[in-house]
Amino acid sequence: MKKITCLLAALTFLSFAAGSQDIERHAPIGYDSLRTGISHGKIDTVTYASKTVGTDRKALIYTPPGYSKTNKYPVLYLLHGIGGDEREWLNGGQPQVILDNLYADKKIEPMIVVMPNGRAIKDDRAVDIMAPDRVEAFATFEKDLLNDLIPYIERKYPVIKDREHRAIAGLSMGGGQALNFGLGNLDKFAWIGGFSSAPNTKPPEQLVPDPELARKNLKVLWISCGDSDGLITFSRRTHEYLQANDVPHIYYIEPGVHDFKVWKNSLYMFSQLLFKPVDVSKFNKYSLLGTPAPSNVRGAKYPQILPDGRATFRVTAPDAKMIQLDLARKYDMTRNSEGIWEVTTDSLTEGFHYYSLLVDGFAVADPASETFYGMGRMASGIEVPFSGDDYYAVKDVPHGEIAIKRYFSTVFNTWRQFYVYKPAGYDVSTDQQYPVLYILHGGGEDERGWATQGKTDLILDNLIAAGKAKPMLIVMPDGNVTGQQGFGEMTLRMFERELKQCIIPFVEKNYRAETGPGSRALAGLSMGGLQTLYVGINNTDMFPYLGVFSSGWIMPAQNDLADKQYDFIKSNPGKISALRLFWIAMGGKEDIAYNNCQTMMKKLDELNVKYTYSEYPGGHTWPVWRNNLYNFAQLLFK
């Protein structure tokens, strides 16, 4: 009884949410129940000659209420799973009941629905279903469908014969067929739906080799699955590829497994979109659930990222009095009767974001998320995929490695460590030397920042493989100064000593680092940008390449420091002209360092210092700094 009550409450909420957005997001109670007092369609069995198989084959045909041979109808071809046949939808899903009810409610266009046997073999019974020849018969059905069944339907029924009036969808194995055949024949189908598509689904690069062609020809591409379905990875990989390539589609995830409860709801939702104008801008509003964030710990379903960029967070804390999500702003979480707290955010911007849970006012990390050192402590982080994140995706390219190296600091009289990226081939070509980029983290972070949050290795792996960046070592040191706080000159001077007296000599002794002119670069974000300004400008002979990300002398706190540097620049024009690249980047006007940076650049202009300025929107965040590294690295050592 408790489960039934929860289900009713959930469906009531979904109905309310649908009304508030003018989108129906789930079938209502009773959608699949036989209703009296309405017109009903008709189910018939037909037999057609298949030249592909060399025998006569059967299919079920649904004709809508009020069907007349004097009218013309669009057609939906609806495919079954690996264990079924042409009667599986009828026996397990009763599509005629769902469609009759939709017609009565004036929610769908009149259409003919064809339910064929997708196992194109002479003995097409659902027996010995995993035998290789019977599995192969599902692929053979493409020829049977295109060359035999569709021509038969178009001869015997009053149908509209163009692609804009032909749809294909299916469940499980049939879902894979629908995606394979539909996307592989965009001259034949404009409406395509895959429900819980099975492993027969082609890799997305084969499904959609030409994203532009798909964008041009598709009316609706629907991909749905239950969140606890073991086959969801096939739907997810297709969705991620389509998203990365800007192909409009509906990715619909609902609570459920691999069964007709999910498939019937998918038919209910998908059929309402067919053969009518659709609003592509609402495609990302349909899904009930999101995709587990890539930053989740293994097996954690939450946080989830919804197709529209919002994120849902859940935490179980039955004894807590109040929980808030602290992610850019504070969101109050709502507790249910089982002690589960939940909240859905506003739409999040791309990439990586720190967050915390405030449990009765105390900030803690989310146990469902990986943790990252940031904000001066271990915090949770959520990774929000977006269509432009391909440059730090894991690809089939040669990969370098990141290692942790300990060294003894004579400046701080203690052991410290840095992270170092070695490009692919470093341990193979043992006679090759490499230039070195020293890259610095921001305040509240440490040497782990660029290695983990920054995805340095993936960015460089992809750039080097594409020939866009020279192979290089990247050293990611700890920029924190022991016993010092703030960004005063003493702190900066101590870091300069650490870098010049300890880190660089250690790197050049223990790694095959080039040491000649033009072989070192220095860059940093925020606090690391200040360190880059201080160390780099004073040592252009060591660092002819400088990158300053989301930084600039802090006014008025660092007036004296800034004035000293401007005096140094004015008095040493030869040293400044030795810079091969002075690259300054900012995360747009929303970056907290924006005004300081503009003030600094105005002064550099007065001093006739040449620099390159770049903006990437996103504020003072890791998505901006990843992009900065991506662009800066391409300019180095050339």
Q: Among the residues of 74-149, which ranges form H helices?
A: 88-93, 95-104, 132-144
Mean pLDDT on 255-263: 97
Burial of 254 (0-12, 13-18, 19+ CB in 10 A): buried
Taking a C-beta distance cutoff of 8 angstroms, is the pair 525, 625 a contact?
A: yes
Measured in residues, the chain has a length of 638
Nearest partner of 411 among 534, 501, 541, 517, judged by Cα: 501
Q: Is the link from the previous residue into 556 a cis peptide, with omega within 30 of 0?
A: yes
- Whether 182 shows a pLDDT value over 60: the answer reads yes
Model pLDDT, residue 535: 97
User: Taking 70 as the threshold, does the pLDDT of residue 5 lie above it?
Assistant: no
What digits encode the pLDDT tens for the residues 330-377?
A: 999 999 999 999 999 999 988 899 999 999 999 999 999 999 999 888
**Single-letter code of the amino acid located at 410:** T
C-alpha count within 13 angstroms, C-beta hemisphere, residue 517: 5
**Using H for helix, E for strand and C for coil, what is the string for 333-383?**
CEECCCCEEEEECCCCCCEEEEEEEEECCEEECCCCECEEEECCEEEEEEE
CA end-to-end distance (rounded Å), the chain: 71
Identify the three-state secondary structure at position 254. strand
Q: What is the pLDDT of residue 194?
A: 98
* pLDDT confidence of residue 487: 74
Dist CA 33 CA 102 (whole Å): 11
- List the Cα angle 148/153/157 in 5-degree steps: 160
204, 302 Cβ separation under 8 angstroms:
no
Whole-model pTM over 0.95: no
pLDDT at 16: 35
Q: How confident is the model at residue 179 (pLDDT cuts 50, 70, 90)?
A: very high
**pLDDT over 60 (residue 422):** yes
Q: How many CA atoms lie within 13 A of 432 on its CB side?
A: 15
Backbone angles phi, psi at 434, to 5 degrees: -130, 145
- Give Cβ neighbours of residue 261 (< 8 Å, ≥ 6 apart): 226
Is the four-CA dihedral 239, 244, 248, 252 of positive or negative sign? positive
- Asked if residue 52 lies in contact with residue 140, where contact means CB atoms within 8 angstroms, the answer is yes
Q: State residue 388's pLDDT score.
A: 80
Burial class (CB in 10 A: 0-12, 13-18, 19+), 245: middle
Identity of the residue numbered 187: D
Mean local confidence (pLDDT), 304-326: 95
| Phi-psi group of 332: left, alpha or beta (phi > 0 → left; psi -120 to 50 → alpha; rest → beta) | beta
Gap between the Cα atoms of 517 and 203, Å rounded: 48
The per-residue pLDDT for 18 is: 39
Mean predicted confidence (pLDDT) in 513-539 = 96
Provide the residue type at 282 as one letter: K
**Contact (CB, 8 A) for 408 and 401:** no
Element (H, E) at 214: helix 211-217
Query: Is it true that the peptide bond before 471 is cis, omega within 30 degrees of 0?
Result: no
Whole-Å CA distances, 542 to 403, 499, 546: 24, 11, 10
Q: What are phi and psi of 168, to 5 degrees?
A: -140, 135
Structure tokens at 542: 């060591």
Angle between helices 527-538 and 489-497 (to 10 degrees): 70
Q: Are 407 and 502 in contact (CB under 8 A)?
A: yes
CA 83 to chain centre: 33
Instruction: For residue 482, give the nearest of 576, 414, 580, 548 by alpha carbon.
Output: 414
pLDDT tens track for 121-155 = 999 998 998 999 999 999 999 999 999 999 999 99
Least confident of 273-277, 386-390, 435-439: 386-390
Average pLDDT rounded to a whole number, residues 443-461: 97
Confidence of residue 524 (pLDDT cuts 50, 70, 90): very high
Alpha helix positions (H), 498-582: 504-510, 527-538, 559-571, 573-577
The stretch 444-455 carries a mean pLDDT of: 96
13 versus 412: the higher-pLDDT residue is: 412
User: What's the mean per-residue pLDDT of the chain?
Assistant: 94
Reported as a single tens digit per residue, the pLDDT across 15-35 is: 334 333 478 999 999 999 999
User: Is 260 in contact with 232 (CB distance < 8 Å)?
Assistant: no
pLDDT band at 3 (very low <50, low <70, confident <90, very high): very low
What tokens appear for 408 in the block? 């003894």
Mean pLDDT across the stretch 107-114?
98
Give residue 85's pLDDT: 96
Could you list the beta-strand ranges (E) of 106-246: 112-116, 166-171, 191-195, 220-226
Q: Under 8 Å CB-to-CB from 510, ≥6 apart: which residues?
A: 405
* Across 257-277, average pLDDT: 98
What domains appear along the chain, each with residue ranges and CATH number? 37-285 (3.40.50.1820), 309-382 (2.60.40.10), 398-633 (3.40.50.1820)
Among 183-187, 212-216, 289-293, 529-533, name the one with the lowest average pLDDT: 289-293
Residue 626: pLDDT band with limits 50, 70, 90:
very high
pLDDT over 90 at 549, yes or no: yes
Query: Is it the case that residue 276 has pLDDT exceeding 80?
Result: yes
CA distance linking residue 193 with residue 96, whole number of Å: 18
Q: Nearest Cα to 583, choosing from 525, 516, 515, 538?
A: 525
CA separation for the pair 518, 213 (Å, rounded): 46
Residue 398 has φ and ψ, to the nearest 5°, of -60, 135
H-helix or E-strand spanning residue 329: strand 329-332
Name the DSSP class of 392: G
